[in-house]
């Protein structure tokens, strides 16, 4: 299968997740193109059998670059199997309020972009203190405190469940079928 993985990342964890999914799918024999959404100008989605989009939640919203890509490509995405890997720290826990927030953020993203993913997987991200500036580190330490998490200054803490991600990616790709080429349709 020809598969696209397009991601947006602020601190790097979504890139790691997207690359992991790409390696997994390539290892199964699929042809995978892994792209930062910033590098997708003019991309023709019709040559892909399916697409994974990935982005992360920052202050209640996914990256603007991801929203732009999804908006521009909404019609093409609607014609193919898609999976949205929605990365956040809320997904690391079981707090009902946090999960209600995740569902609200997803609904807002869908309304803003006009794209409704075929499937969405909420993926737990990471604290990346090695990437934060002073103010972000301060804000994230407060969030960690509120959640009862202990974090070491300058140290990253990863919550991503890689085994769950494998299940999500494998489950999604099992439902992807090769795109019927226009020529084959008109010939047959």
Q: Which residues bind ligand FMN (CB under 6 A)?
A: 9-14, 56-60, 87-90, 125-126, 128, 136, 139-140
Considering the complex, state which of residue 61 and residue 118 has its C-beta at the smaller distance from ligand FMN.
Answer: 61
Considering the complex, state which of residue 72 and residue 158 has its C-beta at the smaller distance from ligand FMN.
Answer: 158
Considering the complex, state which of residue 11 and residue 49 has its C-beta at the smaller distance from ligand FMN.
Answer: 11
Min dist CB 84 to ligand FMN, Å, is 14
- Whole-Å CA distances, 170 to 27, 64, 78, 140, 175: 11, 28, 21, 32, 9
Min dist CB 73 to ligand FMN, Å, is 20
Considering the complex, state which of residue 4 and residue 123 has its C-beta at the smaller distance from ligand FMN.
Answer: 123
The C-alpha atoms of residue 35 and residue 63 are separated, in whole angstroms, by 15
Residue 139 is encoded by which pair of tokens?
A: 């804000």
Query: For residue 7, which of 49, 60, 70 has the smallest C-alpha distance?
Result: 70
The C-alpha atoms of residue 128 and residue 29 are separated, in whole angstroms, by 32
């Amino acid at each position: 299968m020809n598969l696209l993985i397009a991601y947006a990342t602020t601190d790097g964890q979504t890139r790691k997740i997207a690359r992991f999914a790409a390696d997994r799918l390539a290892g199964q024999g699929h042809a995978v193109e892994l792209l930062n959404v910033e590098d997708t100008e003019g991309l023709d989605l019709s040559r892909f059998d399916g697409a994974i989009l990935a982005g992360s939640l920052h202050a209640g919203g996914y990256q603007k670059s991801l929203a732009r890509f999804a908006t521009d490509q909404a019609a093409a995405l609607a014609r193919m199997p898609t999976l949205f890997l929605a990365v956040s720290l809320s997904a690391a826990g079981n707090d009902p309020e946090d999960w209600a927030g995740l569902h609200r953020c997803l609904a807002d993203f869908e309304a803003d972009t006009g794209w409704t993913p075929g499937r969405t997987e909420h993926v737990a991200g990471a604290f990346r203190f090695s990437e934060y500036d002073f103010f972000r580190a301060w804000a994230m330490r407060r969030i960690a405190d509120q959640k009862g998490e202990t974090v070491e200054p300058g140290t990253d803490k990863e919550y991503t469940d890689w085994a769950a991600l494998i299940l999500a990616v494998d489950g999604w790709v099992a439902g992807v079928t090769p795109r019927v080429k226009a020529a084959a349709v008109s010939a047959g």
